[in-house]
Amino acid sequence: MRAHTKETQDSLTPRMALEILQEGNSRFVKNLKAQRDLLGQVNATRDGQWPFATILSCIDSRTSSELIFDQGLGDVFSIRIAGNIVNTDILGSMEFACKVAGSKLIVVLGHTKCGAVKGACDHVEMGNLTELLSKLQPAVYAESETTAADKRNSKNAKFVENVSSLNVRRGVKNIIERSFILEEMLDKGEIGIIGAMYNIDTGKVDFYKDVSYIKDEKNPKFSLAELRH
């Protein structure tokens, strides 16, 4: 499998980019890795890169985007930070990836049993980690299914997963609300954005259909209005 070129990147739509990631994860789960000449891809990308997708994920050692989506060198921009949070630097990286480098899809990828989310659920404070975990607190407070105070902590697996899911959804919303550049590209159908969750027990990625903003023939009534309420 060869590295992407500008021509192959230009030929892709956001929907096609999503399908490539879905197919890659299916291969990963089935342990059917695509055959790649990685050194050949090093040589092929030495004069430029044309990644078709940008993936925001956690720093967790089990969640490498290139591996779980079975992609090679030059295929995806991989942005990693504990808790897959969104901040100004990450937004700037995404704007570069899409507006400058031509990426067609943004994926906000959470994962099950996330240590950062567990820390936020327990209101951990430790050095610089305190500020990072504070960005996860809105998702903790937004979780309304768990009403008993003694169950709203990391010992409750269901509470942790609910918070993780809410954090992904908030991440998608924050990207669109805080970046005029990406919002404009999204509205024109130049890029798509979707939330997803990686299961560390099975290796499977669940793409959220209710947090999928891809403007094409499959979604002609695309609207960002719901995000503004």
- List, for residues 163-211, the tens digit of each pLDDT value: 999 999 999 999 999 999 999 999 999 999 999 999 999 999 999 999 9
Mean pLDDT of 153-159: 98
Give the C-alpha distances (Å, rounded to integers) separating 45 from 4, 48, 73, 94, 144: 8, 5, 8, 20, 47
Measured in whole angstroms, the distance separating CA 111 from the mean position of its chain's CA atoms is 10
CB under 8 Å to 161, separation ≥6 — which residues?
Answer: 112
Which stretch of 57-61, 78-82, 192-196, 215-219 has the lowest confidence by average pLDDT?
215-219
Locate the domains of the chain by residue range.
6-113+161-228
Residue 76 has pLDDT above 70, yes or no: yes
* pLDDT at residue number 38: 78
Q: Using 50, 70 and 90 to split pLDDT, how confident is the model at 41?
A: confident
Residue with tokens 């000449």: 37
Residue 46 has pLDDT above 70, yes or no: yes
Domain 6-113+161-228: CATH superfamily is: Carbonic anhydrase (3.40.1050.10)
Higher pLDDT, 40 or 71: 71
Q: Are 98 and 146 in contact (CB under 8 A)?
A: no
* pLDDT at residue number 224: 66
Residue 126 has pLDDT above 80, yes or no: yes
